């Protein structure tokens, strides 16, 4: 089955610009004006993950959705570029520098939450607030259901073979794909944009393998150990019905941070920005305005 719109990005995200960062190019979708909010997605999704939240926040805020090199991106990294969670966190910090943002609100989901934790504990200078939705924490990186990605990164050709069934929509809705990350179907154009690049482009698959090989629970544990150093406001907006990231982990994250509040997003799994974008947007807007 053909994959339509593999490189499509929702117009609500705004016009992209390519940031030439020390670690390689990253596309940033930048729209709106006001206090800046920077969105960091996880593995095998892209900036489209935030489309429903950005469209709600953009009347009042500047929204910047990064297209991280995590498997659903358009511009591959150079062959010699560093890869892995620490390198990705450095790219987030470098993007804030390149955009000349100060006091930005950093919003992370899934793997992007782990990356955000590393970013605020290594290079927090430009981050004014932190929002973590359901995401990796300590040893839950990646969740056990997705541990097969480590094997796929280690065995030549295996990632390509494992991605081929994703050409069929029915296979994307299984528990080991996107099926348990959402309660409701993902828009077809967005879903195609998640799976298409890694299926079609060997350089994109190289970036996925490099990220998995360069990432370890030592990185998330080191970040968690240092979260107490991040003394700026934080919001932990955890999905109430998450199947991969326990609610208790969200509560522990809130306890790790000196100035954090914890909120549950009802009627949502890991991708609360897909399942309940209205409530997530309300929480983010209220948090940015009041903190």
Summarize pLDDT for 44-79 with one digit per residue, the tens. 999 999 999 999 999 999 999 999 999 999 999 999
Instruction: Identify the pLDDT of residue 1.
Output: 47
Residue 177 has pLDDT above 80, yes or no: no
Instruction: Identify the pLDDT of residue 236.
Output: 98
Average pLDDT, the chain: 93
What is the three-class DSSP state of 232?
Answer: coil
What is the three-class DSSP state of 224?
Answer: helix
100 Cβ neighbours under 8 A, 6+ residues apart = none
Instruction: Identify the pLDDT of residue 179.
Output: 79
Question: 175-207 burial string, b = 16+ CB within 10 Å, else e?
Answer: eebbebbbeeebbeebbbbbbbbbbebeebbbb
Contact between 204 and 79 under an 8 Å Cβ cutoff? The reply is no
DSSP 49: G
Contact between 70 and 211 under an 8 Å Cβ cutoff? The reply is yes
Instruction: Identify the pLDDT of residue 120.
Output: 98
Q: Taking residues 263-276, what's their average pLDDT?
A: 98
Whole-model pTM: value is 0.95
Residue 34 has pLDDT above 60, yes or no: yes
Residue 258 has pLDDT above 90, yes or no: yes
Q: What is the phi-psi region of residue 34: left when phi exceeds 0, alpha when psi lies from -120 to 50, beta otherwise?
A: left
Residue 190 has pLDDT above 50, yes or no: yes
Instruction: Identify the pLDDT of residue 145.
Output: 72
């Amino acid at each position: 089955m053909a994959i339509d719109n593999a490189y499509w990005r929702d117009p609500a995200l705004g016009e992209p610009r390519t940031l030439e960062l020390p670690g390689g190019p990253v596309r940033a979708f930048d729209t709106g004006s006001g206090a800046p909010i920077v969105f960091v997605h996880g593995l095998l999704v892209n900036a489209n993950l935030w489309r429903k939240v950005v469209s709600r926040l953009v009347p009042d805020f500047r929204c910047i959705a990064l297209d991280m090199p995590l498997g659903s991106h358009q511009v591959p990294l150079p062959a010699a570029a560093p890869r892995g969670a620490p390198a990705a966190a450095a790219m987030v910090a470098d993007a804030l520098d390149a955009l000349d943002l100060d006091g930005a609100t950093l919003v992370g989901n899934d793997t992007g939450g782990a990356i955000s934790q590393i970013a605020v504990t290594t290079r927090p200078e430009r981050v004014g607030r932190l929002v973590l939705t359901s995401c990796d924490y300590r040893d839950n990186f990646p969740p056990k259901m997705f541990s097969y990605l480590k094997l796929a990164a280690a065995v030549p050709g295996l990632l390509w073979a494992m991605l081929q069934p994703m050409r069929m929509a029915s296979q994307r809705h299984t528990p080991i794909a996107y099926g348990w990350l959402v309660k409701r179907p993902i828009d077809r154009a967005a879903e195609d944009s998640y799976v298409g690049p890694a299926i079609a482009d060997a350089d994109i698959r190289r970036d996925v393998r490099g990220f998995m090989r360069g990432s370890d629970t030592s990185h998330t544990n080191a970040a968690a150990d240092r979260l107490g150093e991040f003394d700026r406001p934080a919001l932990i907006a955890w999905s109430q019905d998450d199947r991969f990231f326990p609610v208790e982990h969200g509560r522990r994250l809130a306890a790790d941070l000196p100035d954090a509040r914890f909120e549950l997003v009802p009627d949502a799994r890991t991708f609360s920005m897909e399942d309940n974008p209205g409530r997530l947007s309300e929480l983010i807007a209220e948090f940015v305005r009041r903190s």
